Amino acid sequence: MSRSLNLLIFFLMISSTMFSQSIFLKKSFFSGYKYSTDSISYVDLDVDNLEEIMSNNEESLDLLNSYTTNSTVSKIFGYPGGFLIGWPLGGYLGSGGEWKDGYTTMLIVGGGLTLVSIIFESIADNKLEESVSKYNSTNSVISKVQFGLGYCKESKNFSIAIQSRL
């Protein structure tokens, strides 16, 4: 019985370390991305922590840096775009419905900048997801090893099957 118990403990230890080598992403509309390494406790996205985790995978790190660049460019276009939309709308509502000459131009330019910002943010999101996917596919034990656990009633033994894919 102790041999079976030892094998079961070994299997549980292997499976718990197996899941800790993957990164899980969760996206929320209002709070952005959250990530986890254990799929239980998610924290807000911190690029420095992800860089540290992905430091041994150059391709994933390059994609993560591309995410950072595109996200920064998105913010550079997004803030002035939001200002150029908000200023004329605030002026219109604050003046009692008086539409001034420059408001239309500001709205059009602000809308264009906001559209460019949305495009860059979409590209950045794709780069982040691709980076995590690339990291998980190359460094994760999950994609390379499959475990199976069984029990035989006749001999009253547990069996463990391990299959490795290279």
Quick check: 19 pLDDT over 50?
Answer: no
Distance CA 40, CA 24 (A): 9
| Cα–chain center distance at 26 | 6
Quick: pLDDT tens for 150-164: 666 666 676 666 655
Measured in whole angstroms, the distance separating CA 28 from the mean position of its chain's CA atoms is 10
Confidence at residue 16, expressed as pLDDT on a 0 to 100 scale: 47
∠ CA 49-51-52, nearest 5°, is 65
Q: pLDDT of 21-48, one tens digit each?
A: 688 888 888 878 888 887 778 888 888 9
Nearest to 1 by CA among 135, 163, 161, 156: 156
Q: What is the value of pTM for the model shown?
A: 0.69
Query: Rounded CA gap, 51 and 138, in Å?
Result: 16
**Whether pLDDT at 142 is above 80:** no
Which residues lie below 8 Å from residue 120, measured CB to CB, with a gap of 6+?
Answer: 70, 71, 73, 74, 77
Whole-angstrom CA distances from 127 to 1, 58, 70, 80 are 50, 14, 9, 24
Q: Judge whether residue 85 has pLDDT over 90.
A: yes
What pLDDT is attached to residue 43? 86
